[in-house]
Structure 1
Amino acid sequence: MNVARRMWTLYEPVHAITYFTPEPLAAFQAAGLRGFWRGYFAGRAAPLGPVDAGPVVASFYNFAPAMVERALPDVWQRATPEAVLRARADGATAALARLLADQPAGAIAEAAELLADAARRVEPAGRVLGAANAALPVPDEPLTRLWQAATTLREHRGDGHVAALVAAGVGPCEVLVWRSAYDMSREVLQPIRGWTDAEWDDAARRLTERGWLDAEGRPTDTALAAHRDIEAATDRAAAGPWESVDVERLSDLLTPIAATCRAALPAETPIGLPRHDRAA
């Protein structure tokens, strides 16, 4: 496994606790954002400022536009981006404080500093969400710094992944249909990304006509080769921050942190992390 991919498996669970633990949801609700999706869209979009739905449809990529439009720009009438940024940091910090209570404080602080060093090295050009998060102040509190660095790095990687998908001509719904045929389930992906049955079926038809799915909806060799190319391009685009970081030391520090965070997540998530029973 190359460095960029290996580090993703370690920092992504740290970020993902935002969506699957109670503390962030409570923090968003306290800020005036009731319901999971208001907090989700506002929390991820807040570094961009009070944007309308368009930039979020573009940068989040695989959500149905109608689903995004139900949340934005309405959420900014309920909470300002500044209030949302405080809420997401407070919620993530509270969740990590609970989950990592038994971890050595010194190890957490060192991991946070090394991860923040990597986050300072992200390339902003062409990475809208990564650049917006990288521009935020670096928190002093180690748990908050750890989460913010993980978030910056995962959004930077995600920006590169979107670029690879666009270059490969794989549309937002198509990538979900493909993943449901490859290693995830339609039952998980479709409802939480907002696509209708008709839109999903149209995407499946396009993939079949392209030669990515066979008559039974299974991935073809052509699709598997394209998937490998897209993932390789994503890894290349995410490699820069790790060139001058002590990744071996950071890996040692992050491994128990990531394992604890991963155990707090559902076995299958739309993020695409390995299932508990498939994790290395």
Structure 2
Amino acid sequence: MWMHFEPVHAVTYFHPRARAAYEAVGLRGYWRGYFAGRAAPFGPVDAPMVIAAFFSFAPAMVARAVPAVWRLATPQEALRARLTGAVQALAEFTYELPESHLVEAADLLEEAAGRVETAGRVLGAANAALPRGEYPLARLWQAATTLREHRGDGHVAALVTTGLDPIEVVAWRCRLDQSREFHQLARGWTDEEWAAAEQRLVENGWLTAEHTPTEHGRAAFRVVEEATDRAALGPWRALGAERTERLRELLDPIASRCRTIIPPQSPIGLPAQRTPTGQATAPAR
């Protein structure tokens, strides 16, 4: 289900209309829009709150944006901009679908989002508390966002149990199957911080002396992924297997179209799509 609602949420990061909506309220530059839009449900918070909740970003990178973004746009303006941009993006991808399709998808996804357990999940809770959207696409996007941030909060909680700090998590994953060149820049860590993190990973048994993942690291990572899935199960148990499957069918054409704008390398971690023949394909830029 994550692979079906995550792309719906992700239009806010990758669609030109989303960028334009942020710029229209004074949030010029990709990262101003990102930090203001994603943190806006908290209100005008300072950097420490965002560093803690977002987890994987270098504190210095966050501090360059927060709280300065609130001098450019209030949280309320940022929320309106992110919803406007997301709805405009989704409208471009769904104009061929019947209104009844979008209404049913929004109803089911909204019901699932209404069943999230918010205790201990700050981003999920902040998004769940936002007013209900007025139109189907607004409701669809907000529900996808609540579910996405709820799942992310559970993932962060699972990562904390490993004893790794944020940069160690990012550095280890890049040794497993991601690109350091991309993720180091996207999360703002310096070369010195990265080298120190990898040395700690070697000392803690997550990497070998040659900086390849150890079996200990791989096993611990599997435990994290399993715990993330368990923590995210509540809404789908509440919705039930039959209606969850119906929602998956409804989201499938929407998610597939949204994924066409997600770059092959992105921090959100979606695996490559598969063609009808089963061949993996990277999302188009």
TM range (shorter): over 0.9
- Counterpart for residue 255 of structure 2: 258
What does 1:92-131 correspond to in 2, within 5 Å? Answer: 92-131=86-125
Shift of 1:279: 6.8
Distance 1:279 1:174 in 2: 29
Shift of 1:150: 0.5
Distance 2:118 2:281 in 1: 31
Q: CA RMSD in A?
A: 1.3
Shift of 1:104: 2.5
Please state whether the residue corresponding to 2:187 is helix, strand or coil.
Answer: coil
Shift of 1:157: 0.5
Distance 1:71 1:243 in 2: 38
Q: What do residues 115-137 of structure 1 show as CA deviations (whole Å, max 9, x unaligned)? A: 00011111111000000000001
Distance 1:188 1:256 in 2: 29
Q: What do residues 173-230 of structure 1 show as CA deviations (whole Å, max 9, x unaligned)? A: 0111111111110011000100000001111111111111112221111111000000
Aligned residue type for 1:50: P
What does 1:127-138 correspond to in 2, within 5 Å? Answer: 127-138=121-132
Superposed structure 1 runs of 4+ greater than 4 Å apart = none
Distance 2:265 2:259 in 1: 11
- Counterpart for residue 4 of structure 1: none
Shift of 1:239: 0.8
Residue 274 (structure 1) aligned with residue 268 (structure 2): no
Please state whether the residue corresponding to 2:269 is helix, strand or coil.
Answer: coil
Describe the shift of the 1:56–1:41 C-alpha distance in structure 2 as closer, same or farther (beyond 3 A): same
Distance 1:39 1:169 in 2: 31
- Counterpart for residue 35 of structure 1: 29
| Stretch deviating more after TM superposition (267-276 or 89-98) | 267-276
Query: Contact 1:124 / 1:130 at 8 angstroms: preserved in 2?
Result: yes
- Counterpart for residue 220 of structure 2: 226
- Counterpart for residue 236 of structure 2: 242
What does 1:78-227 correspond to in 2, within 5 Å? Answer: 78-227=72-221
Distance 2:15 2:217 in 1: 35
Q: Which runs of 5+ in 2 are unaligned?
A: 275-279
Query: Contact 1:207 / 1:213 at 8 angstroms: preserved in 2?
Result: yes
Distance 2:264 2:137 in 1: 24
Query: Contact 1:53 / 1:68 at 8 angstroms: preserved in 2?
Result: yes
Distance 1:276 1:207 in 2: 31
State the TM-score, normalized to the length of structure 1: 0.95
Query: Contact 1:268 / 1:275 at 8 angstroms: preserved in 2?
Result: no
State the TM-score, normalized to the length of structure 2: 0.94
Distance 1:111 1:192 in 2: 32
Aligned residue type for 1:38: R
Distance 2:30 2:261 in 1: 17
Distance 1:241 1:211 in 2: 36
Aligned residue type for 2:251: L
Describe the shift of the 1:242–1:13 C-alpha distance in structure 2 as closer, same or farther (beyond 3 A): same
Query: Contact 1:14 / 1:258 at 8 angstroms: preserved in 2?
Result: yes
